[in-house]
Structure 1
Amino acid sequence: MRTPTVPPDGAAFDEESAMKQILTTAAVTGLVAAGLALGDPAAGAGRPGDDDLHRWAEDTWVSLDAMTDESTGLPADNITGDLATAGEYTSPTNIGGYLWSTVTARDLGIIDDDEAHARMATTLDTLEQLERNEASGMFYNWYHPATGAKLTSWPDSGDPVHPFLSTVDNGWLAASLRIVREAEPRLADRADALYDSMDFAAYFDPAGAAGLPAGTNRGGFWDEVPPGCSIEAPMYNGSGETAYYTCHHYDTTVSESRIATYLGIANGQIPATALYGTHRTMPPGCDWAWQEQLPGGEHRVYDGYEVWEGSYSYAGISFVPSWGGSMFEALMPDLLVPETQWGPRSWRVNHPNTVAVQKHHGLEEAGYGAWGFSPASNPFGGYAEYGVDLAGMRSDGYTSDAESTDVDVDRPGCADGANPQPDFGDGVVTPHAAFLALPYDRRGVLENLAVLEDDLDAYGPGGFYDAVAVRSGTVAQRYLSLDQSMIMAAIGNELTGDSLKRYFVDKEMEKRLRPAMAAQVFSVDRKVRE
């Protein structure tokens, strides 16, 4: 059983904070349904744009409802733009996103309390029956949404699936269980039982990745020998079982995978030093000149661990990059974890700068007229990874256009750039990426989304379509469960004063995680480019 929640920002007592703490679920739902913004100290009136945000949430919920099987409470991974045909597979992340979206829909008055309870109870019924890895309590990566069966072949092609236990996907499911237990006390015991059975120590490699001073998580493991590369080892949690780990670690700081690190630390399953076992950037110097930029920065020592606090620069904006330069790598964990409150010298600086980089690229450098870049459906078919190339460490990183235009700048003293100032093509903007930026540029986000809806027709019966190529006007008329759940979380937080963060955090998490986060100092200038 986890301890009760406390305000995530640790603010001194004041009337507004006290009111937020004592609001019941019914009160939250009633206030939001009446159009009141809990985070707005002005009595009564919501802010400009709240009506649009609520409308977008209502429509987004329609798509999530359409892709969810009524009997199992499991959402499909995706559904067609006409809401007629859902996919035949789902993942722990999709399930987690559906659970917090259900809470958000209730808190926004889109569904009532009884419906939300019934939906979450159905999902928990199924989760309690799903096949899992017994030695870790972790869920496999693919299940059939209509039956809950673990997939061993893809429903569409019949190609084999080698059941995998993903670190980050289990992180998002576990995070949602924390939210359910706080948001719906009638389900707390069941959510706790599932959550407490998940051991994140199974992923944590104490030796860590090469060149880093502390341990970190691997990407996941198989419990049977897979094809391709794997590392056979006794499971890291000491269960005595054998695991076949990925050959890679999650070794970059700005990554959506940090949700699993946070949970492992909060649970006491992995040490807080795991925050030092990831790269802010790769180290400086020509040995590392394959990375997108040569970083600036300095070495800092935390608890005896020397960490290279590197950063990149773009259009006068300094920032710690993600691997691919996408918005969700940087900002998805911020939907649930109070990163800017707990990391005043790291995330509080980096998050708004990341948003400024994405906005500058879309509106000024590339001239797309819109912005927000993350992996999503490809408007021309399939799925693709989109981002701001110069904002990612990967030298052939995620690109922002359909032509995969690669930016290659000089690494002074090491290498000359082959394509430092390219002409960009048909930029692919992803609405969920824009929604993630709401806490840092509300006005800019609302203006951007209006362009996507009104000028680019990237809107359908289930809310914003998954992506749009801005110059050709080609729209990916599909909805992805993950992306829709990020939109629901972002809108919900904006309209309820970060309710998901309040559900997610408890005293034990704050005690174990906040001091380690507060100690980190990124080499990032607080000034962002105007």
Structure 2
Amino acid sequence: MRRRTRVTITAMVTAALIATATPAMADAVATGTGSGHGHSGDRATLQRYAADTWASLDAMTDPDTGLAADNIEGDLSSPAAYTSPTNIGGYLWSTVTARDLGLIDRRDARDRIRTTLHTLTTLERNDASGMFYNWYDPATGEKLTTWPDSGDPVEPFLSTVDNGWLAASLRIVAEAEPRLAKQARALYASMDFGAFFNPAGAPGLPAGTNRGGFWDDEPSGCSVAEPMYNGSGETAYYTCHHYDTTVSESRIATYLGIANGQIPATALYGTHRTMPPGCDWAWQEQLPSGTTRTYRGFDVWEGVYAYDGMSFVPSWGGSMFESLMPDLLVPETKWGAKSWRLNHPITVAVQEQHAEDAGYGYWGFSPASNPFGGYSEYGVDLAGMRSDGYMSDVEKTDVDIDRPGCTVGTNPDPEFGDGVVTPHASFLALPYDRKGVMANLAGIEDELGAYGPGGFYDAVAVHSGTIAERYLSLDQSMIMAAIGNELTGDTLKSYFVDREMEKRLRPAMRLQDFSSSWGRASHHGRD
């Protein structure tokens, strides 16, 4: 019999609260606003986590360029010799958060942001879109054409999602630091997300969809040569894939394109909730249930997967950051009352339940450093569409269940091995289970020892106790944002959103009606 974890708040408890509470209380539970931003018993602990996390980001940032390296060793020495737009953006919003939490003073924050903005104005970009390339040298700002570690060639690429996170940070800076607003807004305005948006959409989807990005020159791998979608007249070599799943971190770029008027709001209806039902799609992890709904003339299959009686819209790999990273900046649960308000807390409950079912004792599954070397994608296999999905243990235990009427599962109830949890995934869940998050993190720190001078190490294998003793700037910046929102009442969302964004984006999000449901009361967390 599998052993139970010590997870505290459960899907059953949350569902019961929502079912029995007054409308105001139910809204607070579902959106997380009832968690008590900075609850007195946890505030000092979160403040300590933030201070140590900020130390890692400070250590990996070049003081002359203001560019944060991709990662740094656990003793805060030897930062990597490469960075990306996401890393740069994460450092910017982390600097704002460090200021708002009193970790640095306003002048220090302003000087740091000014340095980064100045460097951004000097970086080589794609002229036809204003977008940034995916890899730069953090010490010089030079666009990388060879990998610093191996000397292997780099084919300069312009990533949809990475540019989305950098642009998001520029919106935050423009609002949070008025003296630098003009410079931040100018950089932001120069970035055209229409360059990524394919109006024809992905195969099988009626509305337009973003490509994964493009190259200036034909790459060695798969690409599609097309006139750039923003009408610049230039040819781009687009990725062969689209960002065609709804629950993906890439939706930040879709939100920004809509807010800017560069892509239509109907782009929200141009992605898969799940792949369609039926045996032609039986390669996906589960056969979904659901219904077809029509939004502004577009038919959308509102499919869901199931776990322990809960129904939810899955991500591609079943990881926490795919589901919840955009929620750090966008008020998804407020604007998506029939979609994200249910899906986010259920996603957290699914991760908690999986940890219990697998006998891990800890939870939080998301791409992170591999404790045994390198980098790996971790998630809840059954909660992701990818059939060979992101798995939760070192052994990469693949769950394969029946697709009724189509295929018979080959491994429906496996024994899991050395589970790998990453703290940033737990921090992302703060709005939905603060008590459970704090207990989980306390165990990761005190019992597993996965804590160092820069805060939580990137990942830990729970049974062997093997720790990935390094820090990734992306993961650390997610932690900073999550703590900042919890302790300051979602100030990052306040900085990020303006009236124009709300006017263009909120009505389209309000229409979305996922088929997510708590279903039957979960046994999760019972003795």
Q: TM-score, normalised by structure 1?
A: 0.91
Residue type of the alignment partner of 1:486: M
Partner of 1:124: 117
Residue type of the alignment partner of 2:79: A
Query: Is 1:40–1:46's contact at 8 Å kept on the other side of the alignment?
Result: no
Residue type of the alignment partner of 1:104: T
Structure 2, unaligned runs of 5 or more: 1-32
Q: 1:48: how far off?
A: 1.4
Matches of 1:232 and 1:294, distance apart in 2 = 34
Query: Is 1:283–1:295's contact at 8 Å kept on the other side of the alignment?
Result: yes
Q: 1:317: how far off?
A: 1.0
- Counterpart check, 1:446 vs 2:438: yes
- Counterpart check, 1:281 vs 2:274: yes
Q: 1:525: how far off?
A: 1.2
- Counterpart check, 1:525 vs 2:517: yes
Q: What's the CA shift string for 1:16-38, capped at 9, x where partnerless? A: xxxxxxxxxxxxxxxxxxxxxxx
Residue type of the alignment partner of 2:486: E
Partner of 1:490: 482
Aligned pairs (5 A) from 1:62-461: 62-362=55-355, 364-461=356-453
Matches of 1:235 and 1:519, distance apart in 2 = 30
Structure 1, unaligned runs of 5 or more: 1-38
RMSD: 1.2
Q: 1:186: how far off?
A: 0.3
Q: 1:360: how far off?
A: 0.5
Identity %: 77
Q: What's the CA shift string for 1:5-58, capped at 9, x where partnerless? A: xxxxxxxxxxxxxxxxxxxxxxxxxxxxxxxxxx7899x994211111000000
Query: Is 2:55–2:453's contact at 8 Å kept on the other side of the alignment?
Result: yes
Residue type of the alignment partner of 2:411: N
Matches of 1:307 and 1:474, distance apart in 2 = 44
DSSP 3-state at the match of 2:164 = helix
Residue type of the alignment partner of 1:510: E
Partner of 1:5: none
Aligned pairs (5 A) from 1:16-55: 46-55=39-48
DSSP 3-state at the match of 2:56 = helix
Partner of 1:15: none
Matches of 1:307 and 1:263, distance apart in 2 = 22
Q: 1:502 to 1:426 in 2, by over 3 A?
A: same
Residue type of the alignment partner of 2:474: L
DSSP 3-state at the match of 2:444 = helix
Query: Is 2:274–2:304's contact at 8 Å kept on the other side of the alignment?
Result: yes
Q: TM-score, normalised by structure 2?
A: 0.92
Q: 1:500 to 1:273 in 2, by over 3 A?
A: same
Q: What's the CA shift string for 1:44-73, capped at 9, x where partnerless? A: 994211111000000000000000000000
Q: 1:306 to 1:46 in 2, by over 3 A?
A: closer
Matches of 2:336 and 2:116, distance apart in 1 = 34
Query: Is 2:66–2:116's contact at 8 Å kept on the other side of the alignment?
Result: yes
- Counterpart check, 1:505 vs 2:497: yes
Matches of 2:41 and 2:283, distance apart in 1 = 46
Residue type of the alignment partner of 1:477: E
Matches of 2:359 and 2:485, distance apart in 1 = 30
Matches of 2:206 and 2:58, distance apart in 1 = 45
Query: Is 1:231–1:246's contact at 8 Å kept on the other side of the alignment?
Result: yes
Q: 1:101 to 1:514 in 2, by over 3 A?
A: same
Residue type of the alignment partner of 1:442: R
Q: What's the CA shift string for 1:376-406, capped at 9, x where partnerless? A: 0000000000000000000000000000000
Matches of 1:483 and 1:49, distance apart in 2 = 21
